[in-house]
Amino acid sequence: MDLKNKVTIITGAARGIGFACAERFIADGAKVVLADINEKGGENAAEQLSGSGEPPIFVECDVGERLDVHNLVAETVDAHGRVDVLVNNAAQLDSAAFLELEEEQFDAVLKTNLKGPFLVGQAVARQMVAQVENGGTPGVIINMSSVNAVFALPDHLAYTVAKGGLSQLTKAMALALAPNGIRVNAIGPGSIMTEMLEKVATDEDVSNRILSRTPIGRFGEPSEVAAIAAFLASEESSYITGTTIYADGGRLALNYTVDVRSKD
């Protein structure tokens, strides 16, 4: 995709899907600003990604904190003069039975996974609207949703609730910003082989259970999600807004389980 000189903020960029998006956008010519609450991880990511294209900038940011978000946008504009693309990727996962989920954990997940995309999305959208009013090109916002926006997992209740809310936030943002030409879409990954999934997929029973619900018969790769993000950020998707593209290997279309293919 042609993303040459597109100034792009990617949150949760220190690893996983966020890192893969940064890698793909840089390869496609974008000027990338990495944001993450993990300062060491973000700095390491910036160093790893400095070998090709324009070296990225890292900004430490808690997306659930308004002042952090303000500083993220301000530093991006100071460095590059504008914001063209936002990939709202930062997230965290809860793991507790419904009856045992603590209020503090519920609040923490919603702060990052739902309030965060609202705060960053609003701040970036304000900057993008100002750019349009000054004759600039409308920008693009991409929210990282999940198949959990559609189906529920009782042991990841807060995550499920947040992703469901993010789906509606995406639609509402798209409608609100359409008059300014700003497009807002989401990506809904299924089981993607990130560090988080690697920890549980080493258990054969867990792996088989996931793959029994995945018609394509394998886990997804972060680079495959990044490719969708690059498409949505490009002019190739210029008539798409207010929707979610699910990268789930056919999982949402399935209402039964499938045989797991032998690895032999």
Query: Any idea what DSSP says for residue 29?
Result: T
- Spatial strand order in the sheet of 140-144: 57-60, 31-36, 7-11, 85-88, 140-144, 183-189, 244-247
CB 47 within 8 A of CB 23: no
* Residue with tokens 């900057």, as numbered in its chain: 127
Residue 221: burial class (beta carbons within 10 Å; 0-12, 13-18, 19+): middle
Amino acid at 89: N
Radius of gyration of the CA atoms of the chain, in A: 18
Residue in 159, 239, 246, 256 annotated catalytic: 159
Residue 159 known to be catalytic = yes
Nearest residue to 65 via CA among 126, 111, 11, 114: 111
The helix or strand, by DSSP H or E, that contains position 47, with its residue range, turns out to be helix 39-48
Catalytic annotation, residues: 159
